[in-house]
Structure 1
């Protein structure tokens, strides 16, 4: 049993900079490191390695925390946008012989494979933005209605009567 526990611990390499405190606990900032690297690479294993965690930990947190899951998908969308732009740049400029390797065919395949997922996530993000704008407008209208009602009540108390405009003209 001790051997299995040691082997399990050996797979999870947590860099010392991600640990803090006397009890050597995992720094809770790993999420930010993970999401930044995920947006940069679109690679969960690379992002987990960079953050000093096991990928299974990231998957578990994604299942348990809806906000982290939302940020995860937003990071993937950003990563695919980076890949689209880099692929487009390489198609326009070509791949320099002495530069870093870039497999355009595989990049295009990856973009095609995930096109539907990325489109769905972009639509969700845009809908969320539209929903928040609509909610903000509704809140402002409701505040205006309350202010108007308060003014009408105050005028009635002072004996000033408000003349209502008719819709006819």
Structure 2
């Protein structure tokens, strides 16, 4: 693998055929457009312009991104299940020997956070967060009163109160 820092400066006049393959390979290994552009020796902007101009390249770009994300997801699953091995070291950097075998001591490294995230992504009906906001919720309406039992004088009094309250509410 070449050192990304030693690549020449981006050259926007380079034809797509000259950098297409290394760009797509880098994108499929790590779905990061900036990194893929550096590997290919071009700028992100030039890559995006070529993507807009060439539908076939755009489709290959999307496929490379999918491969990169699949690879990342595979690594996450392995870590979530503790398939990664971590060797234990002393503060001096020396490996800790296993008490029975004498081999360097190692243990699996789990990630509960990755496990939860993956479960939410793949089984949202079972593992999604349960808090929700009902955007269609309504404020409980004021109780409705039978105003027919009021006298004319009481209705006028009630109208004056309502007018006063509405005027005060409109000022606020």
Is TM more than 0.5 here?
no
Q: Which protein shows a greater Rg?
A: 2
| Structure in which a larger fraction of residues adopt helix | 1
